[in-house]
Structure 1
Amino acid sequence: MKIALIAHDEKKDDLINFFLEHQDVFSEHELFATGTTGRRLMKTSGLSIHCFQSGPLGGDQEIGASIARGEMDLIFFFRDPLTAQPHEPDVSALVRLCDVYSVPLATNIGTGTILVEGLKRGDFDQLHGKRPTYGNH
């Protein structure tokens, strides 16, 4: 599975701790991340992660484009709902694309835990390459 990892500044530590707690699961998959988050994850875990630009510099859009091309299977995007983001339109677009292309999205530790448990059981294997979309997508 191709998994993208993204976190707003105030949630980066949460995502890193979550990732390390479930590193055995994540290590079995192809990993992608926005720039700063990816570099921090690689430094702490030693795993290889393809890094896009940082979110404000277009990384959210790069991951969104990957979703639209059918190249992402799962997204972990730990968002900070209490801080205004200067690139909020990019964030909203990425979340919308997850909905359009039926890509599972975790925005916090609670949903992240559920998705990791699903990964362990193989719940997402049947979705790979068979996602329904809305309209004529």
Structure 2
Amino acid sequence: MEEPKITLGLIAHNNCKKDMLQLITSYAHLMKGHHLIATKSTGELIRKHTGLPVILKESGPDGGELQLGGFVASGIIKAVVFLRDPLKRKSHEPDVTALMRVCDAHNIPLATNRATAACVLHMALFHPEKLDDTPTEESRNDR
């Protein structure tokens, strides 16, 4: 039986793109056949250096985080790696917060640093069945 394919969301702030590239490169052999959706410059970097196919969305300041959030809300993206610069405030910070909120609301793993990204990628690539723990409407109403 073939392993289920998953869709991962990938975003990295400019100061974190090198870390993202190192991380994805180390998992590239396992990511073949899975679906990757990324903000524009992050996705272009991954494509160029790994050869992995990446669906590109807008850059972060142009709504890319919101686009990925839409994929999370619709059940398409099953895990997100968002390497963000915690020391630099971004003009599109509300979009970042919205993405984090939608990941929490839909119980989607969200990694915001390299350590948690390695954990999330390991789980997503080796135990994808654990990503299908979507909260029910009833559990959402209990909040």
Say whether the fold is shared (TM-score over 0.5): yes
TM-score normalised to structure 2 length:
0.88
- Tell me which residue corresponds to 2:93: 88
- Tell me which residue corresponds to 1:41: 46
The answer to whether residue 68 in structure 2 is matched with residue 57 in structure 1 is no
- Tell me which residue corresponds to 1:135: 141
Percent of pairs identical after alignment?
35
1: distance between equivalents of 2:42 and 2:13? Answer: 8
Q: 2:22 aligns with which of 17, 21, 27?
A: 17
Query: How far apart are 1:118 and its partner, in Å?
Result: 1.6
Look up the SS of the partner of 1:75 in the other structure: strand
Aligned CA RMSD, in angstroms, stands at 1.5
Query: How far apart are 1:54 and its partner, in Å?
Result: 0.4
- The answer (yes or no) to whether the contact 1:25–1:116 under 8 Å persists in 2 is no
- Segments of 4+ in structure 1 off by > 4 A? none
- Tell me which residue corresponds to 2:3: none
- Structure 2: runs of 5+ lacking an equivalent: 1-5
- Structure 1: runs of 5+ lacking an equivalent: none
- The answer (yes or no) to whether the contact 1:4–1:31 under 8 Å persists in 2 is yes
1: distance between equivalents of 2:124 and 2:130? Answer: 11
Query: How far apart are 1:121 and its partner, in Å?
Result: 2.9
Deviations 1:83-113 (A, max 9, x none): 0111000000000100000001111110011
TM-score normalised to structure 1 length:
0.91
- The answer (yes or no) to whether the contact 2:31–2:125 under 8 Å persists in 1 is no
- Tell me which residue corresponds to 2:75: 70
- Tell me which residue corresponds to 1:101: 106
- The answer (yes or no) to whether the contact 1:25–1:119 under 8 Å persists in 2 is no
Deviations 1:43-94 (A, max 9, x none): 0011110000001001111001111111110100001000011100000000
Q: Which amino acid aligns with 2:93?
A: E
Query: How far apart are 1:126 and its partner, in Å?
Result: 4.0
Q: Which amino acid aligns with 1:135?
A: N
